[in-house]
Structure 1
């Protein structure tokens, strides 16, 4: 009886929110964060220290079986923003899908609900007519529109320094651009002596501390801890972790590796492969990753402090997650789950996820049920009282949080698909995960010595081809393929995938989507 009364009260409160005290909402997304690189998980790397993320988790709900919709950032962000399978309009892998005019985003819903909206940080939507933040519901924007950006070289003077040297190189800096960030529709802003993480923190705090009678919706997308991680955020963290400073001197005759010098190394793609794809292992790679993680953790802590100083922390919802699984190329640690970014083993799609709302949710709640990024849209739709304009593939997390259900996706089969070129798809039903890979793949996994430095020798993490069936409750590391022992289950789940795939669109280039 008491539980029923609590649920009724909870529902009545949610219904009233749209009419009165609307909560502020902040969605924070890290980039390529390892599953074991947060302190609030049971499996945490021994070198990780994230006091502010742990504080955020303690203030709300931690989801211990949370999944991104893709093993790569752009497609995952499309699903999170729309609450739908991004394959519905042909987004399977890089450069595919974009954001069509017909899709409706969380930001558009929040704007309709009377919220002030702002996007800070990374936007990577694979092009499309609505890919710019100012076209999908944000009234303001500061950040970059690319899959990556240099953390430090944020000035027009840095761009000019490279242009002055480019005579020696036929290639431009394409994979990790440098220079000013973009404000709103296209104005450029230069910065000196500061990192993207600090700029995004400052901009986010400025937005939430503005005087206004309207609630706000803030999307804060860090590029930490994405590659290329060539140096520490600042001298203080470099000293703490024992990292060489590696300063950038615009006027130096030679820019030493791991900085790219177009004259010394004209082949930019070769440099990028060396610096960001483990072509040359950086002995300080893991330490640099940890330093940027600490800088991001501090930024999140300062944001939480600002909410408390404004007296609005209790009625502010904070969602935190990573866009996809941790990357071996950035020296992330995924703990005991298998593989890394780019593939559909759990290491590529299982992510940290927290939802905090101190005024409504019980502090320190930990939930084992399977959830996905797509569930955020439905949750905010229920809270704001604004019905989605498209049929959602996610479900509201509120019944799971208040205890009225124990399994949000009970009886449902969840799907992942990286497209026919990648030849990798997944069907997930409860504890059972069916994986198909067309070709095997070997990951380079870094190893650390007793001083926390990356060894020259990698270990190999092999990913098998063919159909594979795993019991994730008994085998979270996906080590025992049970397909041969369960042929009927494999056939049934493959049939479900085939039916789902027939409802999705064919792959389409992002620039071609309407």
Structure 2
């Protein structure tokens, strides 16, 4: 009696081979899926220049419309208690890019064209965010304002950026001519360029080009977009001034110009976000938006109800708007009063991208907060400092320490230290230096010790070429 043939035996050998091949391919694909890591997120850091805490409609401005920045921030988490490391440009940028207090990377003040009025030398050995992301396989780029050095070894391409397209110097004397002290600091990598157009429009267009190119590759990117606006000179395109003056009855000419410059900037950021969306890059891009310091009061800036503005260690010089977006990871329309500062972006972005955070940073990651988790304060004591000199500033060094609700500051080298309780007096109107000597002495000692720590790092260009 013959045994029954199995169903498999009746299938032709050619079909058996085909089925086995399909099975192997299925197993291979399943194994690959199981081992595949999520694609590394792209990172876009947008840093604007001298934007006041109250100079966005989402932060209370009533005579200004910033729909694109407002919509961007609404996609993620809005911060109401975010601080710049310093009330002026270069130090905050150094802190953001290194994760250290600015004095500890050689940038206590503004880096300028003329050595006798330049107050920093970016420590060549300091590792930057660009270095770290570059080593992790990212294409790194900076578009816009650098302001951390005018010559080797402190140009962007030497500090971790694969691509640099922008302005080396501190400020432009003219948004259309792109000069500082009659020197052309516009560069495409190491090449001097002479592009035509308003700097805000150039930086926007270059960013859109960068994103369109990156969308064609599988390589993740880290892009630092640093606009000059709304820094002086307050020079918006004419049509934007006309638009504001038609809309805002009774607005002063000074305020109208600044509002127009900010609204023009807002439109540029809108184009950048539109490009991210159209290319599909926004599906996996972390976007940071913030300012390098508070707004400049004497050109019409609005810092909300905060005291003072740029160049000051009162709250108006330090507290800045900030928002962070990451689709499907940061809840949209969320808001947080968690305190963080510019340098804390360094470890936060590294951790979010799955990159090992360098050791011994002054900065602390606030990624748990972005993910909606509870998190203890990033530090017990917060330090702010700015060094300056020359006839205009009178050899000025100003500094502050915040500890909990208490803030001790010296906003002029010729004035005594002042003590405020920000919980009961957020506008810094009641100096408690004489009423609470215990807290005054405690914070004064901490501030003095921190300043001594800073003294270990030189901030002037070394006499020999072997900078370390």
SS at match of 2:339: strand
Matched, 1:141 2:164: yes
Cα deviation for residue 488 of structure 1 reads 0.8
| 1:54 alignment counterpart | 70
Of the three residues 258, 267, 283, the one matched with 1:298 is 267
Following superposition of structure 1 onto structure 2, how do residues 267-416 of structure 1 map, counting pairs within 5 Å? 284-409=253-378, 412-416=380-384
* Contact 2:294–2:303 under 8 Å retained in 1: yes
* Contact 1:18–1:385 under 8 Å retained in 2: no
Structure 1 CA distance, aligned partners of 2:346 and 2:45?
A: 11
Relative distance call for 1:181 and 1:88 in structure 2 (3 A) is closer
* Contact 2:184–2:192 under 8 Å retained in 1: no
Relative distance call for 1:104 and 1:30 in structure 2 (3 A) is same
| 2:419 alignment counterpart | 469
Structure 2 CA distance, aligned partners of 1:438 and 1:189?
A: 40
* Contact 2:143–2:226 under 8 Å retained in 1: yes
Of the three residues 405, 416, 426, the one matched with 1:431 is 405
Cα deviation for residue 354 of structure 1 reads 0.8
Structure 2 CA distance, aligned partners of 1:66 and 1:435?
A: 18
| 2:203 alignment counterpart | 200
Structure 2 CA distance, aligned partners of 1:136 and 1:430?
A: 35
Following superposition of structure 1 onto structure 2, how do residues 179-258 of structure 1 map, counting pairs within 5 Å? 181-191=186-196, 194-210=197-213, 211-229=216-234, 231-233=235-237, 235-242=238-245
Structure 2 CA distance, aligned partners of 1:80 and 1:422?
A: 23
Cα deviation for residue 201 of structure 1 reads 0.6
| 1:277 alignment counterpart | none
Structure 1 residue runs without a partner (length 5+): 1-15, 160-172, 244-281, 441-464
Relative distance call for 1:18 and 1:126 in structure 2 (3 A) is farther
| 1:72 alignment counterpart | 88
Matched, 1:21 2:39: yes
* Contact 2:47–2:227 under 8 Å retained in 1: yes
Cα deviation for residue 140 of structure 1 reads 1.0
Cα deviation for residue 481 of structure 1 reads 1.1
Structure 2 CA distance, aligned partners of 1:471 and 1:380?
A: 32
Q: How many positions carry a matched residue from both structures? A: 412
* Contact 1:369–1:407 under 8 Å retained in 2: no
Q: TM-score, normalised on structure 2?
A: 0.82
Structure 1 CA distance, aligned partners of 2:150 and 2:426?
A: 35
C-alpha RMSD of the superposition: 2.4
* Contact 2:119–2:387 under 8 Å retained in 1: no
Structure 1 CA distance, aligned partners of 2:443 and 2:245?
A: 50
Structure 2 CA distance, aligned partners of 1:186 and 1:119?
A: 15
Structure 2 residue runs without a partner (length 5+): 1-33, 111-117, 389-394
* Contact 2:176–2:199 under 8 Å retained in 1: no
Relative distance call for 1:102 and 1:439 in structure 2 (3 A) is closer
Of the three residues 130, 137, 145, the one matched with 1:114 is 137
Structure 1 CA distance, aligned partners of 2:151 and 2:121?
A: 4
Cα deviation for residue 373 of structure 1 reads 0.5
Following superposition of structure 1 onto structure 2, how do residues 442-453 of structure 1 map, counting pairs within 5 Å? none
Structure 1 CA distance, aligned partners of 2:256 and 2:231?
A: 14
* Contact 2:51–2:230 under 8 Å retained in 1: yes
Question: Could you list the per-position Cα deviations for residues 329-383 of structure 1 after superposition, in whole angstroms to 9, with x for gaps in the alignment?
Answer: 4321111101111121111111111111122100111111211011100111212
* Contact 1:434–1:469 under 8 Å retained in 2: yes
SS at match of 2:307: coil
